[in-house]
Amino acid sequence: MNTAPTTGCAAWSKLAALARAAGGIAKQPLVAEGPGLRLDYSRQRVNAAVLAALAQLARERGFDDWRAALLAGEKINVTENRAAWHTALRAGEAAPKEVKETLARILALASKIRSGKKFKRIVSLGTGGSDLGPRLLADAFGDGTIDVRFVASADPLELERALAGASPASTLFIVVSKTFTTQETMANAAAARRWGGRTFYATTANLAAARAFGADEVLPTWDWVGGRYSIWSAVSLAAACAVGPDTFGTFLEGGRDMDAHFRDAPIEKNLPALLALLGVWNINFLDARAHAVLPYAHRLRLLPAYLQQLEMESNGKRVDREGRAVSYATAPVVWGAEGTPSQHSFHQLLHQGSQAVPVDFIDPGVDAVLSANARAQADALAMGNRPSSTLALDGLDARGLGRLIALYEHKVFTQGVIWNVNSFDQPGVELGKQLAKQILEGGK
């Protein structure tokens, strides 16, 4: 597996030379198709020579080998000596036995809770990757069968609001923490118990701690699933209750669709790889330090926040796989909001700000007015030589969302390969947790 410095690749030097001579947006038709998705990157500042050099860079970085290792569940998270095998969570009949058994429990519990009379409200207690994904899925496709709330903040107000009007006897708490030691989550779990909470389920890799806490049901997760890649697992039990077991299963199928495309499509037609390489071109050679994601659908209003963690916690690194300081930019600042409201908030900066910000427009085609606005904004940016891509979905259902999220997961992984960083650890986050603990303990 190639872990040599990225800047030593011949294609890196070639791209630097092409960037010095880069022109504006050529507006030639550049389109790639995937399962239920169409990527239009005609409004990017690329030409045939740039695209060829980007594909060459991926090959020089050993993209094919890294991709095969990821999908095979090899231990590519070398820092923690673990696999990064989130694709196994949505692999259907090809999934490991323990994954299939846990999925069956998720679906059975979701069905029982939704059809039963005991619980009127579910409150999911988790933060980061244990919150952002399930919250997105429930917000997008929750059908109102049961009232599902999410609490991520250490601020007691969020829990207070989640419990307003609820009864302890008819409220189910789901504690989601891989280690079952996450400070915010365990503080909220303790507060829920003081409130009078009677029924607690847990999703964790620390089964003993969850049982010691008194959880009535404990569903496992595994050390080879990073939090920000865990939406496909029992971490999403509350979301499965919100959307229903059938919809949750369909969501997993969408992820599996994209896995097959990522595995089989050549680089030049591979949607995740193309998005990744376009990002590398913009970040490393055109000096773009931010990236905006603008979904033109209310169901996807939480997607930018989800992608912030997925991209920045994964690739926000300044040290490569061999511990060397990198001399180039890695993950950009990812931000965004739902369109069309964002047009009345920050699009002025996108159009005429002093720094160009590449944009992903996501158009599920749910409404003609929304689609027209997405296209108009992309066209207007192109007039000012501001790059963007448009992802068009064949409608917006749970399968489409699964495809979209898996697309971005594989984009992040591909950029990690290009930049030679481990996309599956987060040492800066862990240091911050340790320092906060020391501060709290010192104040006692």
What does the alpha-carbon distance between residue 421 and residue 318 come to, in Å, rounded to a whole number?
Answer: 8
Domain with CATH 3.40.50.10490 in the chain: 6-72+265-428, 86-249
In the annotation, is 410 catalytic? Answer: no
What does the pLDDT average to over 411-438?
Answer: 89
- pLDDT at residue 241, rounded to an integer: 98
In the annotation, is 98 catalytic? Answer: no
What does the alpha-carbon distance between residue 22 and residue 222 come to, in Å, rounded to a whole number?
Answer: 46
Non-local (6+) Cβ contacts of 61 within 8 A are 2, 6, 9, 417, 418, 420
What does the pLDDT average to over 43-61?
Answer: 97
Q: Name the catalytic one among 311, 313, 338, 409.
A: 313
Domain 86-249 CATH assignment equals 3.40.50.10490: yes
Which CATH entry fits the domain spanning 6-72+265-428: 3.10.50.30, 3.20.20.120, 3.40.640.10, 3.40.50.10490?
3.40.50.10490
Could you read off the pLDDT of 374-392 as tens digits, one per residue? 999 999 999 999 999 999 9
Could you read off the pLDDT of 100-153 as tens digits, one per residue? 999 999 999 999 999 999 999 999 999 999 999 999 999 999 999 999 999 999
Each as own residue / partner, the long-range contacts of residues 165-170 (CB below 8 Å, 24 or more positions apart, any chain) are 166/120, 166/121, 166/123, 167/120, 168/195, 168/196, 168/197, 168/198, 169/198, 170/118, 170/119, 170/120, 170/121
Tell me the HSE value of 410 on the side-chain side, using a 13 A CA sphere: 32
- pLDDT at residue 26, rounded to an integer: 77
Could you read off the pLDDT of 324-383 as tens digits, one per residue? 999 999 999 999 999 999 999 999 999 999 999 999 999 999 999 999 999 999 999 999
Residue length of the chain: 444
What does the alpha-carbon distance between residue 160 and residue 150 come to, in Å, rounded to a whole number?
Answer: 11
Could you read off the pLDDT of 153-163 as tens digits, one per residue? 999 999 999 99
Say which residue the tokens 């609820």 belong to.
166
Q: Name the catalytic one among 14, 269, 298, 433.
A: 433
- The answer, yes or no, to whether residue 444 has pLDDT greater than 60, is no
What does the pLDDT average to over 235-243?
Answer: 98
Q: Name the catalytic one among 117, 344, 441, 444.
A: 344
In the annotation, is 291 catalytic? Answer: no
